Each structure stands twice: as C-alpha cells, then as structure tokens.
Amino acid sequence: MTTPNNPLDIEKLRQDFPVLHQEVNGHPLVYLDNAATSQKPQCVIDALVHYYATDNSNVHRGVHTLSQHATDDYEAARSKVRRFINAAEDHELIYVRGTTEAINLVAQTYGRQNIGAGDEIIITGMEHHSNIVPWQILTQDTGAVLRVIPFNDNGELLLDEYEKLLGPRTKLVSVVHQSNAMGTINPMEAIIEQAHARGIPVLVDGAQSIPHIPIDVQKLDCDFFAFSGHKLYGPTGIGILYGKSELLEQMPPYQAGGEMIRSVTFEKTLYNILPHKFEAGTPNIAGSIGLGAAIDYVEDVGMERIASYEKELLDYGTDRLTRIEGLRLIGTAREKGGILSFTLGDIHPHDIGTILDSQGIAIRTGHHCAQPVMQRFAIPATARASLAFYNTRAEIDTLVEGIDRVLEVFS
Ligand code: 7TS
C-alpha cells in the first residue's frame, strides 16, 4: 500500500527519468521548472515508441488489427484518466491539446450557448492568461462582463469578495486550483459549494494541481476540470477536459469534421455521441497512450506520497530561501504547492535565471503568463523554482548556492 508513512525512494525514482542525468553548462542538471513542464519517465517514452513502432494506425475507423490495437489503447487511456480523477463515466473525458484548449472549448461552446449580454463570469486575480483571455473574447463578442476575485498580500483569495460578486447575473465561475505564479492552492470545495448554492457551474483550471494533489472530480463536484498531460509527466499536445455528462450533452460541438458526426448529408448533419462529438479529426493517439502510461506511473508512486513529499520539500525550500537577504517570496499562502517565486533586491529576474542556468540550474523567469499577478505586486517579473517529486533537498541547496553566486555577481 502507498501511504505517506511509506516514504519515496527518490534516488531510485530519479533513475526512471533519463533527462535528469546530464550535465548542463558543465554542471549536473538541477531541473526546477516543473510548473512549465515536467520530465518524462522512461515508461512514457517507451509507450510513445511502442505505439509508433508497432501499432501506428488511425483510431475508430479501421477493421484491421492495428487500428483495433490503437483504438483499444486510446480508449484504455481514457479509462485510466477516469479512474485517476474519479469521473463517473469515460465519455465525460474529452481529449484536447491541453488546459488552454480545454478552457477555450468551454468558452466557445458552453459560453456562447449560455452567456449573453449583461451576464457575468467570475474568475480570480491569479489566473493564467489561458483562463482570462478566452473569457475576454467571449465577453467582447457577447456583451457579458468579467468579474475578478481579488487576493491578499499572501496570495490568498478574499472569499468575502467572492460572496459579494456572486449574483443573479453570474453564469459561470472559472478558478485556478493551484496558482502557477504563487503556488496558492485555492479552497475549491468551498468555492464550488457557494456557486452551486446559486445554481452556477464551476470550471476548475487543474493545470498545476493535477501533478501534485489527488483529484476527485465527484468529491469536488466541479462541472468542468481542465488539465495538461505534459505537467503530469506525460507528453505535450495532449490534455483533458472533464465535464459532467448533462452539460457536455447539451453543448454544441467545438470543432467540426471527421469522427464528431453520426451522419452527414448536404442538408443535415447529426452529431456523434460523447466524447466523440468533441473530438473532430485524427486525435493525438500517441499522446493519449503516453498520458495513460504517465498515469500508471504516478499511481504506482502514489499521489498521496507525492503530495506529502513535495510539501516537505517546499517547507525546506521556503525556510532556506527566506534566509537569503533581499529575497522576497511572492506567494506565501498557508495552503501552497511546490512553487518558490521570488524577487531578489532589484536584480532583474532574467539575470537571476541566466546566472543560475550557467550553473546547470533550470528555473523560469518572467510573468509566467499571469501578468495580473505581477501587477498586483507591482513587479515586472519573478524568478520561479517549481518542484516535482524527483527533486531533492540537495538540489534546493544547489539553488541556494546559485542564488548566493547571483548576489556575489551583483555585489
Ligand atoms: N493554467 C495554469 C494554471 C497553468 O499554469 C498553465 C501553464 C496553463 C493553464 C496552460 O497550460 P497549457 O498546457 O495549455 O499551456 N503554465 C505554465 C507555466 O507556469 N509556465 O509555463 C506554462
């Protein structure tokens, strides 16, 4: 059984990730950019190679054996996703390119169908641009209005303000589960409960939470949940939109073409059943199978154990970084995932990132596609170290030494 009392053997797990074992700029790689994308275990790479080397074929079309293999594996991966996030039905999982496409899909289908002039959509001040701009486009086209829940200096949402924003014109709440710029984990169950008390559906942007927190969409009771495979140790170009059946059934298709139809004449087209109605064209078959392999892998490691180890690592990193003079952590919420976003005096974050890179340490610098968060703190950018379960205390120590070196260069 995988329990938090049964600690992870990190050195052994690291062996599963070939990318980690290399030198960058003459130093062992310290990969701390996991919020941008995480590394892939060998079993995911093998699943991609196996598909292309032995089963490559289109899905849902051929009677031939390879097509049947490909279809079986593609659909088996969907069932793995269902089990992983505890959805009720396989057909509630739509394969998309990633979180961005999942949110655009909801905005362009559910949004256009249900949100009109004067209606309101609630998001938060800590959204990634992909949970802002699709709604802005919708509001511009429909005359609806975007409302924003503010957050405090620690990066915690002001739930009293949320309560005030909810009103008779609110048609949708769309909230990030874990902030990519600050690490804040938002109280999704409370947010969803308050919206549902008024009959308002809720979309959860799970791009950052999916690799770190065990997700149960039925327990959360969210109406939509979006995530990307590549942040969950899976391939790029594949992601999931979960939606409750009754909502997906009512929504019009997003893209049109092959596979999403039941019959076509020049007079009339009948759409396919779920999930195919939303999967027009040849999908990312290899990506789906790779995502399934990634889910097998993290389930084997154990999501509870991952969460508990990463919390420990975050506490260690927070303690070490906050001892550095002039370092300011951006994002100090009580409920926080493995993100250490910071500024260092008036040294530009790009300089921090460049000097760290010269020591083999990979972090991200910039606004992290969350410019309103930077505006809230009146800073142009941060340096961000983001953790995965394969990171170690020794790597945090190397980061701290790297930051000391940055300070030396600028002293
Ligand atoms: N939502 C959140 C909270 C994210 O962190 C990201 C990507 C997305 C949505 C979009 O995901 P995509 O897979 O469709 O691109 N965040 C980051 C990041 O923090 N650094 O690079 C990408």
Whether the CB-CB separation of 162 and 191 falls below 8 Å is answered with yes
Atom of ligand 1 nearest to the CA of 386: 19
The mean of the pLDDT values for the chain is 97
What is the mean predicted confidence (pLDDT) over 190-213? 98
Angle between helices 393-409 and 303-322 (to 10 degrees): 30
Which of 130, 231, 386 for mutating ligand 1's site (highest number of atoms within 8 Å of CB)? 130
- List of residues 6+ apart from 314 with CB closer than 8 A: 183, 336, 337, 338, 339, 340, 387
Residue 64 lies in a domain: yes
Residues 217 and 109 in one domain: yes
Residue 338 lies in a domain: yes
Atom of ligand 1 nearest to the CA of 181: 19
CA of 409 to the centre of ligand 1 (A): 32
C-alpha–C-alpha distance, residues 131 and 205, integer Å: 7
pLDDT confidence of 1, banded at 50, 70, 90?
very low
Q: What is the bridge-based pairing of β-strands 339-344 and 361-362?
A: unpaired
Residues 381 and 241 in one domain: no
Whether the CB-CB separation of 206 and 175 falls below 8 Å is answered with no
C-alpha–C-alpha distance, residues 300 and 303, integer Å: 8
User: In the chain, what percentage of residues exceed pLDDT 70?
Assistant: 99
Residues 175 and 105 in one domain: yes
> Tens digit of pLDDT for each residue in 239-288?
999 999 999 999 999 999 999 999 999 999 999 999 999 999 999 999 99
Catalytic residue among 369, 374, 379, 400: 369
At residue 2, the pLDDT reads 42
- List of residues 6+ apart from 185 with CB closer than 8 A: 177, 178, 209, 213, 333, 335, 336, 337
**Is the alpha carbon torsion for 394, 398, 403, 407 positive or negative?**
positive
DSSP letter, residue 272: P
Atom of ligand 1 nearest to the CA of 205: 1
C-alpha–C-alpha distance, residues 271 and 40, integer Å: 36
What is the mean predicted confidence (pLDDT) over 2-25? 88
> Tens digit of pLDDT for each residue in 353-377?
999 999 999 999 999 999 999 999 9
At residue 61, the pLDDT reads 81
pLDDT confidence of 3, banded at 50, 70, 90?
very low
Conformation bin of residue 29: beta by default, left when phi > 0, alpha when psi is -120 to 50: beta
Please state the pTM of the whole predicted model.
0.98
CA of 220 to the centre of ligand 1 (A): 21
What is the mean predicted confidence (pLDDT) over 389-403? 98
Per-residue b or e along 287-323, where b marks 16 or more CB atoms closer than 10 Å to that residue's CB? bbbbbbbbbbbbeebbbebbbbbbbebbeebbebbee
Residues 74 and 18 in one domain: no
> Tens digit of pLDDT for each residue in 299-338?
999 999 999 999 999 999 999 999 999 999 999 999 999 9
Residues 182 and 316 in one domain: no
Q: Which tokens belong to 61?
A: 């079309």
Residues 235 and 291 in one domain: yes
Residue 384 lies in a domain: yes
Residues 198 and 168 in one domain: yes
> Tens digit of pLDDT for each residue in 80-125?
999 999 999 999 999 999 999 999 999 999 999 999 999 999 999 9
C-alpha–C-alpha distance, residues 350 and 348, integer Å: 5
For ligand 1, atom 5, which residue shows the shortest CA distance? 180
pLDDT of residue 130 exceeding 60:
yes
Residues 70 and 210 in one domain: yes
Q: Which residues pair with 171 in a beta bridge?
A: none
At residue 7, the pLDDT reads 86
pLDDT of residue 223 exceeding 90:
yes
pLDDT of residue 5 exceeding 70:
no
> Tens digit of pLDDT for each residue in 31-80?
999 999 999 999 999 999 999 999 999 999 889 999 999 999 999 999 99
CA of 63 to the centre of ligand 1 (A): 38
Would you call 246 exposed, middle or buried from its count of C-beta atoms within 10 A (0-12, 13-18, 19+)? exposed
DSSP letter, residue 53: I
Indicate if 222 belongs to the active site.
no
Last residue of a domain, one of 299, 334, 358: 299
DSSP letter, residue 273: P
CA of 338 to the centre of ligand 1 (A): 15
Strands (E), 195-346: 202-205, 224-228, 239-243, 261-264, 269-271, 327-329, 339-344
Residue 213 lies in a domain: yes
pLDDT of residue 409 exceeding 50:
yes
Q: Which tokens belong to 121?
A: 């959509």
Instruction: Report the CATH number that the domain containing residue 82 is assigned in CATH.
Output: 3.40.640.10
Domains contained in the chain, number: 2
Residues 56 and 202 in one domain: yes
Which of 186, 369, 384 for mutating ligand 1's site (highest number of atoms within 8 Å of CB)? 369
What is the mean predicted confidence (pLDDT) over 389-406? 98
Residue 15 CA to its chain's centroid (Å): 25
Instruction: Report the CATH number that the domain containing residue 387 is assigned in CATH.
Output: 3.90.1150.10
At residue 182, the pLDDT reads 98
Last residue of a domain, one of 238, 265, 299: 299
Residues 293 and 400 in one domain: no
At residue 334, the pLDDT reads 98
**Is the alpha carbon torsion for 180, 170, 271, 216 positive or negative?**
positive
Residues 283 and 308 in one domain: no
C-alpha–C-alpha distance, residues 215 and 217, integer Å: 6
Whether the CB-CB separation of 254 and 108 falls below 8 Å is answered with yes
Which residue do the tokens 């979180």 mark?
99
- List of residues 6+ apart from 363 with CB closer than 8 A: 32, 33, 352, 353, 356, 383, 384, 385, 386, 399
pLDDT confidence of 208, banded at 50, 70, 90?
very high
Structural domain harbouring 21: 10-31+302-409
CA of 173 to the centre of ligand 1 (A): 19
Q: Which tokens belong to 209?
A: 């939470």
Residues 312 and 272 in one domain: no
At residue 62, the pLDDT reads 80
Last residue of a domain, one of 251, 271, 299: 299
